Amino acid sequence: MAKRLKIRIKLTNRYAEFLTPYPDTELKECFSYIKPGAYFNPYYRNNPTQYRYHFLKYDRVPSGLFLALKDQIEKEWAVRFDIDYQRKKIKFEEWEDEEGSDRKYQNECVLAMRKASKVGGIILAATGTGKTYIAAKYFHGMHGTGVFIVDELGLLAQARDEIAQVLGESVGMIGNMKFKPARITVATVQTLQRHRRDPKFLPWMRSLKTVIIDELHEMLGKRNHDIVSSIEPLACFGLTATLQMQKKIVRMRATALTGPVIYKFPYQEGLKRKYLSPAITIALRIKRGGHAFLDKWEEYDKVIAKSSFHNDIVERLIRYGIKRKRFILQLVKRPKHVRILSKRLKDIPHKLAYGAIKVRDRIAARQELENKTIPLLIANQVFKKGTNIKRIDMIIDAAGLPNENDAQQKLGRGVRLCDGKRGLIYIDVGFINPAGVTKDSYNWNRFAKAAKKRKRALARLDIPVYEYEWNGSAKDVIRFAERKLEKLLAKLEK
């Protein structure tokens, strides 16, 4: 048997450093991915290396990525890593069972995070399973300082309140023009990025032991790698319900930023243990051509945002849903679409949520829906993630775009449990092209392909998805959905 090549590594909390000599060309290939769109570049075949993103730079790679790929590389390349562990430990209070959650999986996750605290890792847990609570319980027993990073102001106050309630201590806030750090702080990624070299921020940033990134799937860009590199915490964790780990580019970026997957709790497991509400999806399909000769956003306005035909259908669904005494979250993409629907539904008590609406007003609108004061909230992407709205039992998604993470995140807004709630009906409004219309046709509807992507993404959650072609009757659509939901509830009650 051939002797395996030994490669010496110095492993710290943030980086794995390769000590020379080592096969750098081969390892660069292992710790890299092909840049998006490279296959379509005519120069790619002649110089493929130029079109790869390499994590191995200056003889080192992020520790999380190294640990995620270590076993695979040793097996495939017949090498052995001789590791000099120089990672520092985070100290914790002794775990007391009586202080834990009554949800066993939350305790398991906190213990998994403690175990992985020499580098960090990814927690894949369904929306509504209490990821912010898990982060707070981790911080509760940790010695030292930590930061919980969110990506928008709307989540800043919500996360701060939830964490403070668990910790029983004051939680700092950085964002919305405020710099008030504490032992545990909630911060917006935009503020940290802007001030990562600010002398006023540096002492606090360098004192951080742990960084926890909320909605990791939204924050895999360069700025977050820059922030974590500036802070160099002992551990960095990422929380998400929807991370497309089957895609190499996503998998490598995520593990490089945080570390390997350390805990999973999918939607079906939450449903089985009765921590999440049952849900069904209606893929409502409108047969309509498009305008292939137009720019994407011009066509978007013409067939979705400003289309009387499309908005008539959405309005009918909302009106009949409210007639059935449902609490509805109506989701669209563009602020002007929010305003168009609001004008159409001015006779129905409702509130709006989009960028121009102040954060405190968005929070108040959400609370009015929770308190049954209003039956309808019309929002754009500011409410697609992170926001807790337990009361809603119908979501109508009329955004029409292809992002698979978005579809799963939006559905997650409605699967939390609530008194009197029987389950969630999620209606995805999309298109199918008329018979005979092909991609080369002038009236090809490009948004039909987006509808297929969303349907596949929702099906991956193991939630029943029923395709229903629009026949002109909102009553038929919603009654069909209610029958399917009752059938699912009966099956789960057996």
Domain boundaries for CATH 3.40.50.300 within the chain = 97-270, 277-493
Query: Rounded distance, CA 190 to CA 176, Å?
Result: 10
Residue 449: other Cβ atoms inside 10 A: 14
Query: Rounded distance, CA 464 to CA 271, Å?
Result: 13
DSSP, collapsed to helix, strand or coil, labels residue 267 as helix
Q: Which CATH class is domain 5-85?
A: alpha beta
Q: What are phi and psi of 271, to 5 degrees?
A: -70, -45
Query: Residue 359: is it exposed, middle or buried by C-beta count within 10 angstroms (0-12/13-18/19+)?
Result: middle
Q: Which CATH class is domain 97-270?
A: alpha beta
- From 264, 237, 239, select the one nearest 90 (Cα to Cα): 237
DSSP label of 197 = T
Query: Rounded distance, CA 155 to CA 161, Å?
Result: 10
Cβ(190)–Cβ(124) under 8 Å?
no
DSSP label of 351 = E
Residue 460: other Cβ atoms inside 10 A: 17
Structure tokens at 222: 């360069």
User: Strands 235-240, 120-125: parallel, antiparallel or unpaired by DSSP?
Assistant: parallel
Domain boundaries for CATH 3.30.780.20 within the chain = 5-85
Query: Rounded distance, CA 62 to CA 56, Å?
Result: 8
User: What strand order describes the sheet that includes 261-265?
Assistant: 178-180, 172-175, 184-188, 145-150, 208-213, 235-240, 120-125, 261-265
Residue in the block written with tokens 């895999």 = 220
CA distances from residue 60 to 15, 85, 160 in whole angstroms, order as listed: 6, 14, 36
Cβ(176)–Cβ(210) under 8 Å?
no
Residue in the block written with tokens 């964790």 = 237
259 backbone φψ class: left, alpha, beta (φ>0; ψ -120 to 50): left
- From 81, 87, 85, select the one nearest 27 (Cα to Cα): 81
Question: CA-based angle 310:314:317, to the nearest 5?
Answer: 140
Q: Residue 209 belongs to what H/E stretch? A: strand 208-213
Tens of pLDDT along the chain (494 residues) come to 356 788 999 999 999 999 988 888 888 888 988 877 776 677 666 676 777 888 999 999 999 999 999 999 988 888 899 999 999 999 999 887 666 778 889 999 999 999 999 999 999 998 888 899 999 999 999 999 999 998 877 788 888 999 999 999 999 999 877 888 899 999 988 888 887 777 878 888 889 999 999 988 877 776 777 777 778 899 999 998 877 777 888 889 889 999 999 999 988 888 888 889 999 999 999 999 999 889 999 999 999 999 999 999 999 999 999 999 999 999 999 999 999 999 999 999 999 988 788 878 888 888 898 889 999 999 987 765 556 688 999 999 999 988 777 788 888 888 888 888 999 999 999 999 999 898 888 899 999 999 999 999 888 888 899 999 999 999 999 999 999 999 999 998 87
Residue 136: other Cβ atoms inside 10 A: 22
Architecture of domain 277-493: 3-Layer(aba) Sandwich (3.40)
